[in-house]
Amino acid sequence: MNDLRNSKPLYVAKAELFKSLGHPARIRILELLVAGEMSVSNLLAATGLEPSSLSQHLNVVKHTGLVQSSRAGNIVTYRVTDPSVGEFLAAARSVLATTLGRARQTLEDLVGPA
């Protein structure tokens, strides 16, 4: 059900956590879910993924405990398990912001401003 359980060195669990977000489709899925729970069919429409592909990606993030699902009749709804997931994504955004800014800066240092 959840693969980040004990009996694993912490840095392995942490690596699996990062890896589970190491795919564009899963990033898009998580950003949607951070904004609010969503059914598979809505995710399907929002992402444009193949149903089987979406399901597989959802399974990956479910295994690392980032999301949960529940079924109501025919419809399966996914949601993030904890607000910390949103903060995790936000932290990535912040790294990216300074990292991209720094790349631009370094470039200007080397070749001068545009």
Partner DNA sequence: CCATGAATTCATAGATTACTTAAATCACCC
Partner DNA sequence: GGGTGATTTAAGTAATCTATGAATTCATGG
Can you give the binding site for a copy of itself, defined by CB under 8 A? 1-2, 4-6, 9-24, 26-28, 31, 64-66, 81-82, 84-85, 87-88, 90-100, 102-103, 106
Q: Does 57 bind DNA (CB under 7 A)?
A: yes
20 within 8 A of 66, measured Cβ to Cβ: yes
3-state secondary structure 48-106: CCCHHHHHHHHHHHHHCCCEEEEEECCEEEEEECCHHHHHHHHHHHHHHHHHHHHHHHH
Options 29, 30, 34, 60; binder of DNA; rule CB under 7 A? 60
Helix or strand run (H / E) with residue 38: strand 38-39
Q: Least Å distance between CB 113 and DNA?
A: 28
Does 13 engage in binding with DNA (CB under 7 A)? Answer: no
Encoded tokens for 44: 């399907």
Query: How far is it, in rounded angstroms, from Cα 85 to Cα 74?
Result: 27
Q: Is 76 in the site for DNA (CB under 7 A)?
A: yes
> Residue 5 binds what, of a copy of itself, DNA, none (CB under 5 to 8 Å, by partner type)?
a copy of itself
Tell me which residues touch DNA (CB under 7 A): 19, 22-23, 25, 39-41, 44, 50-60, 69, 71, 73-76
